[in-house]
Amino acid sequence: MKFCSVCGSADIALTVPDGDQRARYVCPSCGTVHYSNPKIVCGVVPVFEDKVMLCRRGIEPRFGKWTLPAGFMENEETVEEGAQRELYEEAVSTVSLGLLLTVISVPHISQVHMMYLGTMTEPKFAVTPESTEIKLFTEAEIPWGELAFRTVKTALEHFFECRRTGEFTLKRSRID
C-alpha cells in the first residue's frame, strides 16, 4: 500500500493495531486501519438432464481451459445474484438456482469459492467474450485433464458423487 485511501498520506505503516492480532496497513496521520480480506468467487454447476455445462475460458488466467461459470462477487450483490450474473456473463444462460454445493477455502490466494447447483430448463447458452466454447458434458465426457482450476474439479467431483448417492449435501474443503 502506497498511500492512505482516506486522507492521502504516503506515511503508511504495516503494524499490529491495538486489540488486533495481525499486521495491517495503518495510516498514522488519520488512524485508518486498512483491512485486506479474502475475495469471494461465486458460481454455478449448471445441469441439463444428465449433463453439466462447461465453458472454455476466453480470458486469462487459464485461457482455453474448461471451467464452470464463476467469478468474483461484486459489491452490493448477494452470493446467489453473483452466481447467476456470472453464468449470464459467461454463457448467456440462466438456471433455477438450487442448494449451495461447495464452499472451498483457498487461503494461499485469499479466496473462498462458493458453487451452487443450478438446473437448466432448456439447453440455451451462447459464447461471450469470456468463453470461446460452451458445451454440455456427461460425467464420462468431462475433460478432467483440461479443467482450469482445482476448485472446478472439486465441485464437479462432489456434484457427481451426490448424484450417484441421490443425496445432495454441502461439501466444505480447503485447497492449499
Q: Kindly indicate whether the domain formed by 1-36 is annotated with CATH number 3.10.20.30.
A: no
Q: What is the pLDDT of residues 27-61, one digit of tens each?
A: 999 999 999 999 999 999 999 999 999 999 999 99
The dihedral sign for the CA sequence 96, 97, 98, 104: positive
Q: What is the pLDDT of residues 128-176, one digit of tens each?
A: 999 999 999 999 999 999 999 999 999 999 999 999 999 999 999 999 9
Neighbour tally for 45: CB within 10 Å = 27
- 39-174 has the same fold as 1-36: no
The dihedrals phi and psi of 35, each to the nearest 5 degrees, come to: -85, 140
pTM for the whole thing? 0.92
Q: Where are the beta strands (DSSP E) in the chain?
A: 13-15, 24-26, 33-34, 39-48, 51-57, 66-67, 70-72, 96-106, 111-119, 131-137, 171-174
- Quick one: 22 exposed, middle or buried, by C-beta within 10 A (0-12, 13-18, 19+)? exposed
Class of the domain covering 39-174: alpha beta
Preceding peptide of 143 cis, ω within 30° = no
Query: Which cell is 81 given?
Result: 445474484
Q: What is the pLDDT of residues 55-83, one digit of tens each?
A: 999 999 999 999 999 999 999 999 999 99
Could you state, in order of their start, the residue ranges of all structural domains in the chain?
Answer: 1-36, 39-174
